[in-house]
Structure 1
Amino acid sequence: MSAPPRPWLLTLAALSALATLSTNILLPALPAMARAMGATETAMTAVLSLFLAVFALAQLVVGPLSDRLGRRPVVLGGLLVFIAGSLVCAVAGDLRLLLAGRGLQAAGVAAASVLARAAARDRFEGAPLAALLGRIMVVMAAAPGLSPLLGGLVQAAWGWRALFAVLVLSGLAVAAAYAGIVGETLPAERRRHQPPRDLALGYGRLLADARFLRPALATAAILGALFAFFGTAPLVLTRGFGFSALQVGLFFATSVFVVFAAGHAAPRASARWGGPAVLRAGAALALAGGVAMLTGNAAGLYGFIAAACVFLFGMGLVSPTGAALALTPFAAQAGQASALLGFLQMAAAAAMTTVAATLPTERMAALALVLAGGGLLAWVAAPPPVSARRAHSA
């Protein structure tokens, strides 16, 4: 299979990144939004948690729906819902209306995230799919890294409501790019309709199939830890090391390069040693990063940064490799498999973010425990490595 054109690749990466952009761009503005809404900062955490919950559940619907109707109408319809939700948030005068808009955003953007993976699976499998997902991750890594910095700059210049204008424009741009560049990737003869009972049975079969479940759980564990890192690292940096909001944004922006490096390494390593071996190696690095953070408090800021880089590099190996391993055997139900994978990832993100925020210990230790736990869970869940000969023949 030939490599995808660069505009095709960039469009799928933008689809994947839109959900993370929708959350991380708001992080610097949450205190200002709380003041405008007359809400406590604690209550404003619902702006993030509701988004993750709706996003997780919506994926279970949009994946099978796209298996029936095709990818194009579901992606474009979802992006229209996302744009409508962003407009509601931009004009919201109280927390209730803001949360309603966030729910619409999450339901709409779920289609973009799920179907970016499904579209990739429609065209590729095996090592080419792993390579494509790795390249997508390299591009989309800029979203969590750069969006807090972008959010802080936009808020400082035009206020927090302008952040939702940015999201409206982003949704319109991604919709136009998808319609003009990617289009439909699921031919009519490969579409299928499943009644609700069959959908439930299909999800049950996927969960019972180790070919899907093991790499999916490994990917979910590591991405859950990553979201905990996004949510907790700003507190560690500001309260523990005296960072300003701009310095926090710069920290996340520079961390992108670690993920870039891992995304480039993952497909090459998978082609040489096999996906399961790379998955386990990445999980071991993530675990090592968490342990180093837990035991290296005395090293101060530089110890924290070094441990975070080790974790992020391990995460960058696990994410595309695990997704490729989970989706490759299920061409006939790529939308449903991608939806369930996304649901597991967001459920893990919600759970591990909550754990990192509520553990009765100081924030760096809590974060370190969650990162190490995510790496350990990913290592345990990962499928056993194949032999070198089988890896080369796969």
Structure 2
Amino acid sequence: MSDTLTQAIAAQPEQHLSKTVLAVLASLAALGALSTNIILPSFPAMGAELGMSSRDMGLTLSYFFIAFALGQLLVGPLSDRWGRKKLVIGGLLVFSLGSVLCAYADSLNTLLAGRVVQALGVCSASVLSRAIARDLFEGEALARTLALIMVAMAAAPGFSPLLGSASDSLLGWRATFTIVGLLGIVAALAYASRVGETHAIERRQAVSALAMIGQYISLLRDTRFTRPALAVSLIVGALYAFFGAAPAVLMVGMGLTALELGLLFAGTVVVVFASGLLAPRLARRWGPSRVAAAGIVLALLGGTAVYLAQDHNLPLFTLALTVFLAGMGTVNPLGTALTLQPFGQQAGAASALLGFLQMSCAALGTWLTSVVPLPAAATLGLTLACFSLLALLTFSFARKAAPSA
């Protein structure tokens, strides 16, 4: 399996990448992650105004993840049948409507309904950004494009708390949802004017409920998909577990202020960005599977170190977290490229199932960090380490099972 991607990388090193197209795809991918974490600094104000506790406000993340995960299962195959453009633009408009509903919410139930509408809309942009990349590029160009997309998806949760904190302080939490909704409209206009339809009519496939289920079953039976997809999803789930647990670990445990937490989140972007851009170059020399496996090992070492550091020493905790993020940034683009490369005609379904697995692992990771009866830092470290270990075992076992690996 990895030989296919390695040969493609070697065969097409000069494929042209449009900076405008890359920027639009990165924006589509980042919007969902941005809308996930941008409201975290507003939880106290939102809870006070709506008469809810901070724990109740955490449901806004859970509902978002669940709707996001399930929505992708429909969006991917439908885009393989009807094309990408209608679903991307329509989804972004639905996302903006959901944002307006959140902005005017007067109860937790209304807010949760708005979050579900947001997730069902924005999931189309996120999942189809990868499918569009697969439509347009192959080989090294695909790996580089996916690296940028993965960096954008990882960077958005890092910067969004800082942006959300500023918006909440200056304009209030309702304005934050309004801003996010406007960003959805801007993204739709940019996509329509700069990218447009990328899935040619002759490549489209008829789709039915049974056909969609059959596609997903076929993908899950194919180790070329399951090996990298499960590994990437577990690592992404661990990343979101960190974002979910960070306020308790760093603010309560270590005494960071909201601004300091936002700055630390922003600092994670540098690590993810650097490792994500370096990964395709390393893959060209040593092969994507080997480099991806090395990234998983690095994430495992970092997660274990987070557990050992706990919340007693901020410098050690930060160093351990940096190691984990470097591993995550390495495996994410390569694992995604390995997942999608063999499935050009099923790029929508493959990307949708990958997104479903990622958001499911994110929901599981954030849930574990809130329910395990251990100190927050210990729970986070165990979650990072266990998810990384499972990713390594899955990746290695399936690699041995696949004849072409």
| Larger CA deviation: 198-207 vs 1-10 | 1-10
1:67 is aligned to 2:80: yes
Per the alignment, do residues 132 and 116 of structure 1 end up closer, same or farther by CA in structure 2, a change over 3 Å counting? Answer: same
Q: How big is each residue's C-alpha offset from its partner over 1:71-118, in whole Å with a ceiling of 9 and x where there is no partner?
A: 000000000100000011111111111111111000000000000000
Match of 1:33 among 25, 46, 50: 46
1:128 is aligned to 2:141: yes
Q: Normalising by the residue count of structure 1, what TM-score does the alignment of the two structures yield?
A: 0.96
Match of 2:295 among 282, 287, 309: 282
Over the aligned positions, Cα root-mean-square deviation in angstroms equals 1.6
Q: 2:279 — aligned with what?
A: 266
| Larger CA deviation: 124-133 vs 276-285 | 124-133
Q: How big is each residue's C-alpha offset from its partner over 1:131-170, in whole Å with a ceiling of 9 and x where there is no partner?
A: 2111222344431111100100110001100101111111
Contact kept? 1:215, 1:325, Cα under 8 Å: yes
1:300 is aligned to 2:309: no
Structure 2: distance between partners of 1:299 and 1:280: 31
| Larger CA deviation: 286-295 vs 307-316 | 286-295
Count how many residue pairs are aligned between Structure 1 and Structure 2. Answer: 388
Structure 2: distance between partners of 1:45 and 1:139: 24
Q: How big is each residue's C-alpha offset from its partner over 1:153-208, in whole Å with a ceiling of 9 and x where there is no partner?
A: 11000110010111111101111110011111101111111211111111001000
Contact kept? 1:223, 1:348, Cα under 8 Å: yes
Deviation at 1:232, TM superposition (A): 0.4
Q: How big is each residue's C-alpha offset from its partner over 1:35-65, in whole Å with a ceiling of 9 and x where there is no partner?
A: 1111121111111100000000000000011
Question: Once the two structures are aligned, what percentage of the paired residues are identical?
Answer: 51
Q: 1:12 — aligned with what?
A: 25
Structure 2: distance between partners of 1:45 and 1:298: 22
Structure 1: distance between partners of 2:320 and 2:370: 19
Contact kept? 2:254, 2:312, Cα under 8 Å: no
Structure 2: distance between partners of 1:298 and 1:82: 37
Match of 2:151 among 118, 122, 138: 138
Contact kept? 1:274, 1:385, Cα under 8 Å: no
Contact kept? 2:293, 2:395, Cα under 8 Å: yes
User: Structure 2 counterpart of 1:271, which letter?
Assistant: R
Q: 2:107 — aligned with what?
A: 94
SS at match of 1:3: coil
User: Structure 2 counterpart of 1:159, which letter?
Assistant: G
Q: Normalising by the residue count of structure 2, what TM-score does the alignment of the two structures yield?
A: 0.93
SS at match of 1:376: helix
Deviation at 1:289, TM superposition (A): 0.4
Structure 1: distance between partners of 2:398 and 2:78: 34
Q: How big is each residue's C-alpha offset from its partner over 1:260-294, in whole Å with a ceiling of 9 and x where there is no partner?
A: 11111111011111111111101000100011112
SS at match of 2:247: helix
Per the alignment, do residues 271 and 86 of structure 1 end up closer, same or farther by CA in structure 2, a change over 3 Å counting? Answer: same
Structure 1: distance between partners of 2:173 and 2:346: 40
Q: 1:318 — aligned with what?
A: 331
Deviation at 1:234, TM superposition (A): 1.8
Q: 1:103 — aligned with what?
A: 116
Unaligned residue ranges in structure 1 (runs of 5+): none
User: Structure 1 counterpart of 2:164, which letter?
Assistant: G
Per the alignment, do residues 156 and 385 of structure 1 end up closer, same or farther by CA in structure 2, a change over 3 Å counting? Answer: same
Structure 1: distance between partners of 2:139 and 2:228: 14
Q: 1:51 — aligned with what?
A: 64
